[in-house]
């Protein structure tokens, strides 16, 4: 029986050692720490996980490590999308055979100017490789595809959810009118409260690696109708998010999550530039200030 996916769902970073090789030990420690903060699930091999900077074998090892560390305590979702659809299919099959993955996810095919029918074909090829339900990953600012260009995908009963990483709720509502039982997972951390207010059953984000507990608090405030307090918390959180964006999301989140849990998560892979000492100091100060005020 599939576990219900809801609440705060970190889009996991992928830890590397000093030689920028995959560090599954650090990943397992991070997963265990996040579960203790009452997250509702784990999303791996997504944008935050530097999926397109990983080989297929590294993605498989990442999935195996997350599943092992999660121990079935929370649902695990794996983003299998890739430029090469054959690798997406292979990773989807791996997820199905692993036994601990609850859903797969995929963003639409990128780079080439695929036609809507070709995008539909891409998703169908992936879904036909496994019985796992599909969470479509809508992230137009990175994929270059608007929701309308692959809307037909949602007619497939195997699609049960959408990771909606854009504030375009109008296009989302057009999909929901045709498929009202589609579960929405909102993917913009700085607007998490807005996503919940618009009916999202869960929120998936990068900064939940280092602020999961604060977003759990925000979600709880919203659920209890205390939206004035929830909005105040979102505004405080956004002060740190603004700095994280300025310094570079992936390295900043790795650094802050590593500091919080006492784990060396390493740096993001090139061509991302590592944080400077000055940036690390500013991030530490801003994070400490946020937790003091929250």
Tokens read off for 246: 């300025």
Catalytic site residue from 114, 122, 137, 208: 137
pLDDT bin (cut points 50, 70, 90) of residue 206 is very high
Report yes or no: 11 and 202 within 8 Å, Cβ to Cβ.
Answer: no
Question: Is residue 99 one of the residues assigned to a domain?
Answer: yes
Angle formed at CA 121 by CA 116 and CA 123, multiple of 5 degrees: 100
Question: Is residue 247 one of the residues assigned to a domain?
Answer: no
Catalytic site residue from 43, 114, 122, 163: 163
**137 labelled catalytic:** yes
For the stretch 166-180, pLDDT in tens is: 998 888 888 999 999
For the stretch 124-135, pLDDT in tens is: 999 999 999 999
Structure pTM? 0.96
CA distance 207 to 211: 6
> In which region does residue 45 sit, left (phi positive, over 0), alpha (psi from -120 to 50) or beta (all else)?
left
Question: Is residue 32 one of the residues assigned to a domain?
Answer: yes
**Element at 8 (helix H, strand E):** strand 7-10
Burial, 62: exposed, middle or buried (Cβ in 10 Å; 0-12, 13-18, 19+)? buried
CATH code where residue 161 lies: 3.20.20.70
For residue 74, what are the domain limits?
Answer: 7-224
**163 labelled catalytic:** yes
CA distance 254 to 146: 29
Report yes or no: 163 and 138 within 8 Å, Cβ to Cβ.
Answer: yes
Beta bridge partners of 204: 9
Residue 151: pLDDT above 90? Answer: no
Question: Is residue 47 one of the residues assigned to a domain?
Answer: yes
């Amino acid at each position: 029986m599939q576990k219900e996916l809801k609440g705060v769902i970190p889009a996991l970073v992928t830890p590397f050692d000093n030689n920028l090789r995959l560090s599954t030990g650090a990943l397992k420690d991070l997963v265990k720490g996040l579960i203790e903060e009452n997250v509702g699930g784990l999303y791996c091999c997504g944008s935050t996980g530097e999926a397109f900077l990983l080989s297929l074998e590294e993605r498989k090892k990442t999935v195996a490590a997350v599943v092992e560390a999660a121990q079935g305590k929370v649902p695990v979702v794996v983003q299998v999308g890739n430029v090469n659809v054959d690798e997406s299919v292979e990773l989807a099959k791996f997820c199905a055979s692993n036994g601990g993955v609850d859903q797969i996810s995929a963003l639409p095919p990128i780079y080439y100017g695929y036609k809507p029918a070709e995008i539909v074909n891409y998703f169908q090829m992936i879904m036909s490789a496994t019985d796992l339900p599909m969470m479509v990953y809508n992230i137009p600012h990175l994929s270059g595809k608007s929701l309308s260009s692959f809307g037909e995908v949602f007619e497939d009963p195997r699609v049960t959810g959408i990771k909606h990483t854009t504030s375009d709720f109008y296009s989302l509502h057009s999909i929901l009118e045709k498929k009202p039982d589609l579960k929405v997972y909102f993917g913009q951390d700085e607007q998490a409260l807005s996503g919940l207010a618009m009916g999202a059953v869960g929120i998936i984000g990068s900064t939940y690696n280092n602020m999961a507990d604060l977003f759990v608090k925000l979600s709880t405030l919203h659920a209890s109708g205390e939206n004035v307090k929830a909005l105040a918390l979102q505004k405080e959180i956004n002060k740190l998010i603004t700095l994280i964006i300025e310094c570079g999301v992936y390295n900043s989140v790795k650094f802050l999550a590593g500091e919080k849990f006492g784990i060396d998560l390493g740096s993001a892979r090139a061509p991302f530039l590592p944080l400077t000492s000055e940036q690390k100091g500013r991030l530490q100060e801003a994070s400490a200030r946020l937790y003091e005020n929250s």
